[in-house]
């Protein structure tokens, strides 16, 4: 099973509420550049499925998450999109697995990556996937553990968003531009009314 491993940044994949990450013009530009970066990589690799750490993957099932408004994911893959992260706060998982509160981020990430790999292998083996793409935070790519584990099962092509000349997160510290948000919230409401959906923000 060959893999395309993409390390990106979650705020670039979805419009978050302002308490999580602001929406502003520089951020919108970064999200668009991230989309232009990811889309051709996945298209060229031609995977049978995309496994994603981000909760934004739940939009493929028309689902929402209590802490994130999935009004406008910035990228939707053309193949099945699988949410691979643990279905609860990873800190709770660490506690259930016996990890002490003092356990470092590296160990907690290790537990999550083990879960990701189990999810990937279970689905890949069940349906015979030969080529997959994996989207996760760039810190997981830089750590190298997930790449090493995937290499046991085939070739791995790796890309890190922080290596792109356009990448920066300065916009996340800039003010929130409510006028941008108001525009796409209204469009989202109209779309949901057309579709008969009930979860539009009021």
Question: What are the two backbone dihedrals, phi and then psi, of residue 37, each rounded to the nearest 5 degrees?
Answer: -80, -45
Whole-structure pTM value: 0.79
| Residue 145 pLDDT greater than 70, yes or no | yes
Residue-wise pLDDT tens digits, 24-80:
888 888 988 998 999 999 999 999 999 998 877 766 555 555 555 544 566 778 888
Task: Give the pLDDT band of residue 171 (cuts 50, 70, 90).
Answer: confident
The better pLDDT of the pair 97, 159 is held by 159
pLDDT above 80 for 112: yes
> In terms of C-beta distances under 8 Å and separation of at least 24 residues, what long-range contacts does 113-120 make, across chains too?
113/140, 113/145, 113/146, 113/149, 115/84, 115/85, 115/86, 116/51, 116/53, 116/84, 116/85, 116/146, 117/146, 117/149, 117/150, 119/51, 119/82, 119/84, 120/51, 120/84
Tens digits of residue pLDDT in 81-104: 898 987 766 566 556 666 555 456
Q: Residues 120, 48: contact at Cβ < 8 Å?
A: no
């Amino acid at each position: 099973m060959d893999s395309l491993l993409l390390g990106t940044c979650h705020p670039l994949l979805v419009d978050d509420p302002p308490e999580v990450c602001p929406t502003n013009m520089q951020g919108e530009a970064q999200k668009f550049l991230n989309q232009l970066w990811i889309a051709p990589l996945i298209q060229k690799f031609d995977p049978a499925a995309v496994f994603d750490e981000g909760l934004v993957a739940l939009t493929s099932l028309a689902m929402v998450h209590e802490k994130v408004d999935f009004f406008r994911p910035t990228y939707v893959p053309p193949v099945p999109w699988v949410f691979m992260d643990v279905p609860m706060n990873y800190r709770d998982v660490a506690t259930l697995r016996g990890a002490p509160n003092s356990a470092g981020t590296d160990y907690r990430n290790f537990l999550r990556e083990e879960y990701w790999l189990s999810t990937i292998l279970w689905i890949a083996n069940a349906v015979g996937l030969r080529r997959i793409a994996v989207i996760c935070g760039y810190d997981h790519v830089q750590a190298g553990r997930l790449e090493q584990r995937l290499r046991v099962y085939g070739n791995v092509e790796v890309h890190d968003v922080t290596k792109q000349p356009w990448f920066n997160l300065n916009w996340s510290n800039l003010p929130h531009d409510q006028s941008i948000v108001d525009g796409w919230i209204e469009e989202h409401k109209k779309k949901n009314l057309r579709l008969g959906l009930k979860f539009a923000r009021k």
